[in-house]
Structure formats: structure tokens, C-alpha cells
Amino acid sequence: MRKLLLLPVLALLLAPINSFASEADLVVPNLRQSVFNGLGGVNGWDLLLYGIVVIVLGLLFGMVQFNKIKKLPVHHSMAKVSNIIYETCKTYLLQQGKFLIILFAIIGVAISYYFLALAHMSVPKTMLILLWTVLGILGSYGVAWFGIRINTYANSRTSFAALKKLPFDVMSIPLQAGMSVGLLLICVELIMMIAILLFIPGESAGACFIGFAIGESLGAAALRIAGGIFTKIADIGADLMKIVFKIDEDDPRNPGVIADCTGDNAGDSVGPTADGFETYGVTGVALITFIILMFGETGIIPNVEFASTLIVWIFAMRVLMIFTSVFSYLINQAIAKIRFAKEEHFDFESPLTSLVWITSIVSIVVTYALSYALINDLPEGLWWKLSSIISCGTLAAAIIPELTKAFTSSKSRHVQEVVIASREGGASLTILSGMVAGNFSAFWKGMVMMALMAMSFYIVQDLSLFGEYPAIFAFGLVAFGFLGMGPVTIAVDSYGPVTDNAQSVFELSQIQKIPNIKEEIKKDFGFEPNFITGKHNLEENDSAGNTFKATAKPVLIGTAVIGATTMIFAIILLLKKTILSNGESLLQIELTDPSVILGLITGGAVIYWFSGASMQAVTTGAYRAVEYIKKNIDLTKSEADIEDSKNVVKICTQYAQTGMWNIFAVILSLTLAFAFFSPNFFVSYLISIAIFGLFQAMYMANAGGAWDNAKKVVEVDLKEKNTPLHDATIIGDTVGDPYKDTSSVALNPVIKFSTLFGLLASEIAIELIVKADKTGTTNIAPYIGVVFLAIGLFFVYRSFYGMRIKTESETVSKTEKPTSKKLETSDAL
């Protein structure tokens, strides 16, 4: 039924119109035109070719880290658990791969008909777009797979390292794994984009970039949204059993624990890794698009040599962030080893914080140095002005994590407030205190972003080189600066799923119950294990992981929002260049224009629908998971039934994919509908979802982080497990789960996919308007928009009423018997 209702989307794209497909026709300038005297007269093409050497070295460093982790000592009981987690993750990823094939078929047909039938583009060029769309999807999918593989090696090695007297490796191993993921992600993305710049003809490169960006965005949206739903179904299902049966965290008898471990990777590794890959790629495409639209052969201010210089400069900076990240990591690791290697206890957050700040400072210094070497001969002091703008973004990527810690760290006043409120007020005050933290965090982060963006505009406002639009390029560079220490941002984000899994591996392995285990470990590995301190260190490190998972979220969403302004600029230029028969431009974006006001309201409405729809999928899936676990848990066993665990994983997967189908259909249909109603309305809509999405994401992410670490304070610092206080904070944590790891994080790819696909939708709508204006006929675009709106609203309706928890009377004919082991799921699936 879902696929049948999406067919009208494709059919309506077959309308016999002519489109200019301008963004796919962008001509990338010849990079050999730019010569950099500060580097001995090397041209831009050669410079980026040399940059590939740095990228390959970065890849090798990442792979060396991978092999080091793989070879670390681990007890077979822990290795067995991590392998089970990896196998369930493989099953999930393979299922998601099939899902992506279906999504690509839908988007691929739309792209093919658009460029072949509508834009009359040649078959080879259209196939090139499709090829790079596939490569974009494979890039997101591939780095996500690498992420779960290294994380499931690192989780058991971290768990085993915790048994040693000194806990330094408990911190070092997850960070090492994170750097490996971060470097591979950035290096693969850079190789793909530089390959387009160097080896694809300029007249086809624009099409390749658009295809690549759409593929990245599609892959990230599917993996991030579905992964976020999956992980929180499993997490809530496992957590609520602690209240129902008064069992410990990660009790091996709980069938939800394996699903939770899989979810830690699906939601906190697969999703963020794919999302990060997309974020770096799409931001680069946005900047390239702006430069060519402004300074390309057919740009507003044609200056092809200047365009070539800016593109090479941007990618040279991207290549250098590999060096700065590795250099900063090695410096930080050496400092941390001196400070903490012989300590029996230390703050696990400390070396992560210092890594972020060291990388930020090194990146800013290198930014100025490289810019001076490359573009110091450009007029108007452009080298230091552009460097300062990028540094605003790099500084934000360090300041925002500090603000995040202020609201989510277990040591923060806000998290302590949640605990204090919970002690006397129970779950009600737990939830209210977390909401306070989330709201305050959104205010302060919004003010910081505004201040840094305002500073960037102040720097460029008098630059004549950028004509009427200096702010657009400045904001795009701020987004680029956000990503200036990319491998480290990804590394501290990837730290979380490893630490979370490590704690679970410890419990699931039941290593302390193995006969003569102390003697065995001392004989085979040369140290005497301490299970009590090991468990404590893993729990404390998990708290640090929670905090630093939260720090990367606002960086990625902030990049999406700031970068979206550059992508929306392309639509604005199309509207401005489209002149109707009455001599007026199609661009009518004024605050007094009703379509603008309506677009702003509509964007906010869609953000709130998405938040509800994604949480509804979690709620219903968690209900089914809890229902199944309660009926099948057997506390007389020493471990969970593997078939029961697989069935819980199956529930999570099914509801994740059903929720994703509804969300994808709505986003696709409404994007087309609103573009067809009015391009000016659509631009306002895109701006609105970016801004509403920014604040909704920051509020939800940090409220969820505060609830999560409040529970950790009760478990680790206060040691009050299985008390009313603990129960209250568990409830707060289960409310925060879909807040922080489903709805908030998925807003990033939703914003970017809407903007990217909106470029194509806008061009169709503009051409329909122009055709009607020239021929004096009726503009059929709004009528087509009504059809898309009807399809979108159907899936909006279905995202709740098709996913809701059915009452017993509604499901009596399909309800399983209490003693049955058979898996039943909602008929909505």
C-alpha cells in the first residue's frame, strides 16, 4: 500500500515540461587556472592531487588504529558477546541495505525522468548523476558498516581492560576507535569529492556533486531515522524491565539487552556515522554551488579564476584538517598518558575535553597559516577575513560542547537538579527538571550561534568581491568551520556507543562467575582482575560517553541549519533570475507577503509532526517489545534465550522501518507539494524547518542527555539502584531516549534532504509557472501540489493512526497466547 501510494509522485513528474536544471548544469572551473605563488607556483589541480597523499596517509592511520584495537587482549567470554552483537548488527544493516535499495529506486526513477524527460539531459550525464547518487549512498552505508565493526571490537576490549587496576585504557580504547572511524569517514568523503573535481569534466562535475549529495542525504536519512527508532525501542524495552522485575542493568536474562546493544550501534554508531558523512559532503557541495553561482562562467559576478582559487582553498583546508586532527590526537594522547596512565581514578571527561580544545586551537592556527600561504595575494585582506570566519565556526565547535556539558554532564548543576528534584518529587519532577535543562540549553546555544554568525557577517559586510550576498558565503564558511576538526568531532561522538556496549558486554559475559577465572586471567594475561572496580569504571565511563555523544549533536544540527542557508540561496537565485512577462522577478520574499508568513508557519508545523511521528514509532515499538519480553522472560535461567533476543531485534527492526516509510513518504510528498504551491512559500518553508528544527533538536537532545546522566548519577555516584529514586530517573531516561536519540538527531538529515530534493522540486515548479505565463494558460503547479499534499497528509495520518497501540478488543483476534513463543506484531506492519 505504501509503495502504491508513492507511485503518483513518480507519475506526476512525467509532465511534459522543459526545465533548465541549472544546479546540475553548473560548470566547475578548471582548477589549473589558479596558481598559488606562496607554495612555489603550484596550480590548484596539482595541489589537490598532492592532497590525496595526505588523505591516503589519514586512511592508513585509521586502519592502523583498527588493527591495533583488533589485536588487543580480550577474554573469550567477552569476545563471544561482542561477536553476537556484531552478528545482530550485520542482520540489521543488511535489512537496511534492502530498504535503501527500495528508496533509491523511488528517487532514482524520479531523478531519471526529471533529467531525461523534463530537462532533456543526455543519457550519459543522467547516468553519471545516478552513479554518484549510488556512490553517495554507498559512502554513507560503508562508513556506517566500518563504524559498527570497529566499535564491536572495541567494546569487548574496553570491557576487558576495565579489569586491570589502572583505568587509562578504559578511556583510551574507545577514543582510539573513534579516531579510526572519524578519519575513515572524512578521508573517504574527501577522496570522492576531490575525484569529482580532478577527474570529471567541469561541465559534468556539477551534476556529479548534486547526485553525490542526494545519495549521501538519502542514505543518512534512512540510517539515522530508522536507527534512532530501533535503538530507543530496544533501550526502553530493556530499561523498563529493571522496574518491572527489579533486575540489574544489562541482566543477561533480559531478552531486550542484546537488542539494546544492537541498538547502541544502530542508533549511536550507524546513524551518526552516516549522518556525519553526509554533513561533510553536503556542506562542501553547498559551498561549491555558491561559488559557481556567484563567480562561475554564467555567475552573477563572473570571475572563473577567483572561483577556482576559492574551491581549491576550501578543499586544501579540508585536507589539512586530517593532519590537524591526527596531530592533536597524538599530542592529547601523550599528555593524557603522562597525567592519567598511573592514576587509579580520574575524570574520564577530562582527556576528551582537552582533545576538543587542542584540536580547535591547532585548527585555527593552521587555518590562518595555510590561508596566508594560499590566498594572501587576494585583495581586501581576504586571507585573514575568510580565516577569521572559518575560525568562528571552529570556535563554535569547541564552545558548544562546553555548553552541552553544562546541561548534560553528570557533574553539571542541571543534572544534579534533576536528581534532587527526583528524590522528593518522583518521575514527575524528573521530567520537568530535564525539560528546564533542555530549554535553557537551546537559548544559550542559539545565542552563541547567532553571535558567531553575526561576527562573520561583520567581517565580510564591506567586501565588494561578494556583491549583494556576502552574508550567504560567510554563513556557509561558518558551517564549514563547524566541521574544521571533523575526525575529532566524530571520534568523541563514537566514544559513546563503545562505552555503552562495554558495560553491557561485562554483564552479559558473566565473566566473574566463570570457575577459577582470576587464576586463568593472571596466567593468560599477566594481571589479577578486579571485577568490582572494573564494573564501576565502566559505568562511570558510560556517563562520560553519554555526555560526549550529546556534544556532537548540536554541532551537526548547527551545520545543517547554517549550511541550509547556502543551499536555499540557489533557489532564491533561480527565482530572482526568472522574469515574468510583466517584467517582474518571480522572487517576492518579503515579510508582508502572505505566502512567506504561511511558509514560516507550515515549516514549524512539519517539525512538530516529525517529532511526534518519530516518537510514536518508538512508543508503539517499545510497547510491543515490553509486551513480548514480559511474556517470555525467564528469570530461572542464567542467560536470555537467544531466540527471544532475536525476536526483540525483529520487533525493533520492523517498527523502525515502518516508521521510516511513513516519515520518508511525508517528507518527499510535502517537499513537492509546497514547492508546487508557490516557490516563495517554499523558500520560507525551508527556512522555517531549519530554524524550528535547530531549536527543537537542541532542546530535545539536551533534555534527554540530562535525564540519561541523572540516572547514571544515581547508579554510579549515589549507588542507589533499585530504589524509588532510581525508578524515577529510569522513567526520566526512557522519556529522554527518543528525545535525544531519535527525534532530535534525525532532524539534521530531514532538513538537508528537504533542501536538496527541494532544489529539483523548485525548478519543476518554476518552469510550470514560466510556461503558463508565456502561453497565457493556467498554471497547473498548485493543482499538482494538492495531489502531493493529499498523499503527504495520508501518511501524516498513518504515522499515528497506523502506528498507534491497539486496545485489547481491537487485537483480540490476533493476540498471542501468554505461553506462546511466537512473535506477533501490529497489523500496521
Cell of 268: 549511536
Contact 284, 261 (CB under 8 A): no
Q: Residue 287 has what pLDDT? A: 84
Among all chains, which residue has been given the C-alpha cell 589537490? Answer: 48
Contacts of 295 (CB under 8 A, 6+ apart): 301, 302, 303, 304, 306, 307, 310
Q: Measure the CA–CA gap between 91 and 568, rounded to whole angstroms.
A: 38
Q: 3-class secondary structure for 104-162?
A: HHHHHHHHHHHHHHHCCCCHHHHHHHHHHHHHHHHHHHHHHHHHHHHHHHHHHHHHHHC
Give the whole-number percent of the chain exceeding pLDDT 90. Answer: 51
Nearest to 103 by CA among 170, 6, 25: 6
pTM exceeds cut of 0.85? yes
List of residues 6+ apart from 157 with CB closer than 8 A = 69, 72, 73, 74, 173
Q: How far apart are CA 76 and CA 243, in angstroms?
A: 31
Which ranges of 343-412 would DSSP assign to H, the alpha helix? 349-375, 382-408
pLDDT of residue 25: 65
User: What's the Cα-to-Cα distance from 558 to each of 302, 379, 486, 565, rounded to whole Å?
Assistant: 31, 31, 14, 11
Task: Give pLDDT tens digits for 593-638.
Answer: 888 899 999 999 999 999 999 999 999 999 999 999 999 888 888 7
CA distance 155 to 478: 35
Higher pLDDT, 771 or 181: 181
Tell me the pLDDT band of 10, cut-offs 50, 70 and 90.
Answer: very low
Q: What CA–CA distance (Å, rounded) separates 132 from 126? A: 10
Compute φ and ψ for 72, nearest 5 degrees: -65, 150
- The string of pLDDT tens digits covering residues 777-801 is 889 989 999 999 999 999 999 999 9
Residues 75/511, Cβ–Cβ less than 8 Å:
yes
Instruction: Provide the mean pLDDT of the chain.
Output: 87
pLDDT at residue 11, rounded to an integer: 38
pLDDT in tens, 35-76: 998 888 899 999 999 999 999 999 999 999 999 999 999 999
> What's the CA gap between 348 and 336, in Å, rounded?
10
* Choice among 315-329, 722-736, 813-827 with the minimum mean pLDDT: 813-827
DSSP result, 775-810: HT----HHHHHHHHHHHHHHHHHHHHHTTSPPPHHH
Please, which residues have CB within 8 angstroms of residue 719's CB and are 6 or more apart in sequence? Answer: none
What is the predicted pLDDT for the residue at 358? 96
Amino acid letter, 42: V
- Residue 12: the pLDDT is 38
Residue 313: pLDDT band (50, 70, 90) is very high
Grid coordinates of 184? 575513515
536555499: which residue's cell? Answer: 568
- Rounded to 10 degrees, the C-alpha dihedral 702/708/709/711 comes to 150
Question: The C-alpha cell of 240 is what?
Answer: 523498563
